[in-house]
A and B are shown apart, each in its own frame.
Chain A
């Protein structure tokens, strides 16, 4: 594969590129689903191809093809240079790349069990058992479950001499129970909504999730929501469970710190960011206890944003994003690092596959746990009146990442330190920095989970990327609750 990639580099260099890299990527995926007692879908997919990214005349060109013959590879490289020269017709200044040492490396996701080594029969049996448990509860009208496994092998070479072979594994699993009655559809999901929990791990993730053990409870909660009261509207202290907080981090911290957004590169589609460059090391993003990192290193955990090297050959790093409440860092790339006075990329450039241009993506954007021991139950016990919200149901935020609104699947009104009643349709909304400044308690490490978001969309053409978000249940004071239903 390295030889094939070098064919591309040679042509790009001969045609005058000042920089070139080539990625050959082989991806394999398996998706299994069940629905109401049957296999919903069973499919395998594989894809292999190569892309060439070049700088010529100070501008970028990118071309990708499934054709790995020598003629095909060389034509792709030539096309990339031709495109770069066309780009140079409309530029304000030349692209500058932050320096990066070339590296020769091998890296593989640590995993105990290759997920593709587990038989399909075993996987389907697990899902059907879960399905059976869900539908054993009277009132469940629809049960859906899924298992997903992915393997991605990449060969990266650059004209600067880097040669990196990297293999990543990921797994995901989850289920949802729906209950339709009267004029209402309620649902509960486990361990998270929209596909469950995902990590860069082997099959051991599936064994850790205790899917079957939680199915009955989840189904019972879905049915019980029909008898629950509507979540009250007003200003409340709220406690978010770790999965909902993971998505809150994703939307209101992870996206606004993407430096390409800040610089206007996403203005037409994904949007920009309120985090203009003047806010670095001056903005009080959150309360003193808010510490957020962007950490792609294995030692942070097996998140979907964990890797050895990003897709322009920069090693995984940990960047402090919010330090004791102060905004301290962006997600950057070799092209953008200089705009924040850095002489090295933060290592966040990733592509969905061989046929997509790498772009700044979240790695693992995590809220560090509280240092003092604090369990969720202790946090509830210390809350006089509030709402505990669990598992995301809807999410929306404006294109500069100020105003957000989230809905959750289930809520619990807390009174005098106890869960007083279940409430349905809980939602909350706010302004990003006001919200993070209202945080006054974070549970400790034993309540912390590194969640996976497998479906983050960005870019044109749009790319879907997996990101990681570590979080422990946390409390926020005086948050607007229920305005989603106001006036409806």
Chain B
């Protein structure tokens, strides 16, 4: 694993190779291993080690980036030369700001954030997971499948990664992290169930318990019936909520407002969702992962995106904030402040909140309580292949998957064939009747978040598939 002092030495070598006005170097990489199983067999089992150095140079308002995984002199020289050659042929960009120094980067955080001692996201026991331990865990999952006469497929992975930034104005920051992840599908003859979880600390995961839940879903949804498409009350488990709402956070960006590609254009400050919806971006939340600095090294602020259904703010990279202040959209853009959510420069997208945390409802209900109080509805474990159909109403389409159930008179009645939905996120988040306490969740269509399960009325299923 690349250490911070090694990276600092590499940065010094790169600086000596460049004649640029300013230079910024990003480091990323580490070790990753994943054991994959299907048909009760480990069929793929991989490990890799790789680090990448990414060099951005600036000449008189012109900037470009070159990336390599070769850390020898030739590799670093090649990256510097490529970056410089790409930068020099461009026109000067009046929106390009000088790189931030350490004071500016840290100063963007309010004092409460700066004073916080963040718990480590690096756990030695996660980093140390061996192929034998992964195989042993998979064996336990397979035993659960065999006990229930099911077959199982899934993954168990672990990683140890670094992320770092250094620039010629003296800024430097470094983040190390581990992550263990397990995802399990249990398959019956005509049904399936699924569970997934991850954490920096492998001790937080209980793969056999997740396997039992996935198996129960597969068994309970056997011989699925078909009910017609239409509008239903749905109970969305956290993974399903995450995969839906993840499609809107690209739009919580100052650049998206400037580009008029955001569904929040003209809507910041308005009541867009139900008053029970409050959403933060908070990189420091204990259920979150990732570094506390953005692509330019700016400290990530805790930002209230939605309060009681009202869209309060979007996030801003440094240059986006300056552009917005001069823009015709500035009066409709909410508070304009650098929030530490920028992507590495140069880029077209600007920034995005990536540490989403839903606030706990006043009266959280468990999933069981939501089911018990539902007269007729559909319980959804997981969603699949979600795509945006209409960008301004944020209408999404996708499928249910791996455990879809009819709920009647407060009980899970039976498994049902999977539905296609076409549903507006604005509509969905305006119709939330009940929520659980938020928790860290992960899906496949969006990034990990801290989200609740939700009961939503009038969710629009438009078609039924064959299984």
Contacts and interface: CB of A to CB of B under 8 A. Distances in A.
Interface of A: 33, 35-36, 38-49, 51, 59-67, 79-80, 82-84, 86-93, 119-121, 124, 141-142, 144, 178, 180, 183-185, 263-269, 271, 274, 355-357, 359, 393-400, 402-403, 405, 407, 425, 427, 429, 431, 460-461, 483-488
A268 B261 contact: no
> Which 5 pairs of residues, A with B, have the shortest CB-CB distance?
A86-B131, A40-B348, A403-B465, A267-B153, A180-B260
Please indicate which of the listed interface residues A63, A184, A397, A460 has the most CB atoms of chain B within 10 Å of its own CB.
A460
Which of A49, A268, A355 is packed against the most chain B CB atoms within 10 Å? A268
Interface of A is mostly: mixed
A142 B78 CA distance: 34
B132 interface: yes
B187 A267 contact: yes
Given A86-B132, A488-B393, A92 B260 contact: no
B385 A398 contact: yes
B401 A399 contact: yes
Contact of B44 (A67, A183, A185, A357): A357
Given A87-B35, A398-B399, A64 B260 contact: no
Contacts, number: 283
B245 interface: no
A48 B424 contact: no
Nearest to A47: B69
Contact of B155 (A87, A184, A460): A460
A399 B259 CA distance: 34
Given A39-B346, A395-B387, A398-B420, A264 B46 contact: no
Q: Is the interface of B mostly helix, strand, loop or mixed?
A: strand
B372 interface: no
A131 B173 CA distance: 37
B395 to A, nearest CB: 6
A379 B259 CA distance: 39
B187 A264 contact: yes
A322 B348 CA distance: 42
Interface stretch (B84-92, B98-106, B235-243): B84-92
Interface in B80-124: 82-83, 85-87, 89-91, 93, 95
Given A44-B86, A65-B48, A488-B390, 14 more contacts: A43-B65, A44-B65, A89-B139, A142-B259, A180-B265, A266-B153, A357-B44, A405-B397, A429-B420, A461-B46, A461-B157, A487-B231, A488-B424, A488-B427
Interface string B386-420: 11111111010111010000000000000000101
20 contacts: A42-B65, A44-B65, A49-B69, A59-B42, A86-B45, A86-B131, A92-B40, A183-B393, A264-B38, A267-B187, A357-B46, A398-B384, A398-B385, A399-B399, A405-B397, A429-B462, A431-B465, A461-B46, A484-B395, A488-B427
A460 B181 CA distance: 12
Contact of A64 (B47, B79, B395, B397): B47
B466 A185 contact: no
Nearest to B71: A66
Contacts of A399: 384-385, 399, 401
B43 A265 contact: yes
B466 A62 contact: no
Contact of A396 (B387, B390, B466): B387
Nearest to B348: A40
A398 B391 contact: no
B281 to A, nearest CB: 24
A185 B388 CA distance: 12
Interface in B431-467: 444, 460, 462-467
B32 interface: yes
Contacts of A264: 38-39, 151, 153, 187
A485 B42 contact: no
Nearest to A393: B389
A39 B38 contact: no
Contacts of A425: 390
A89 B42 contact: yes
Interface residues of B, number: 98
Contacts of B82: 44
Contacts of B332: none
Interface in B196-241: 230-231
B466 to A, nearest CB: 5
A483 B422 contact: yes
B70 interface: yes
Max count, chain A CB within 10 A of own CB: residue among B48, B138, B184: B48
Contacts of B184: 268
A80 B45 CA distance: 9
B69 A63 contact: no
B135 interface: yes
B25 interface: no
Contact of A178 (B153, B260, B422): B260
A394 B397 contact: yes
A87 B460 CA distance: 44
Interface string B117-146: 000000000000011101110110010000
B50 A64 contact: yes
A407 B184 CA distance: 32
Contacts of B418: 398
A65 B87 CA distance: 31
A66 B71 CA distance: 10
A265 B260 contact: no
Scoring A40, A121, A405 by chain B CB atoms within 10 A of each residue's CB, the highest score goes to: A405
Contact of B142 (A33, A90, A269): A90
A89 B135 contact: yes
A395 B397 CA distance: 9
A429 B462 CA distance: 10
The residue among A67, A121, A142 with the most chain B CB atoms within 10 A of its own CB is: A142
Contact of B462 (A45, A82, A83, A487): A487
Contacts of B369: none
Contact of A63 (B48, B136, B466): B48
B463 A403 contact: yes
Contacts of A427: 389
B228 to A, nearest CB: 13
Nearest to A59: B42
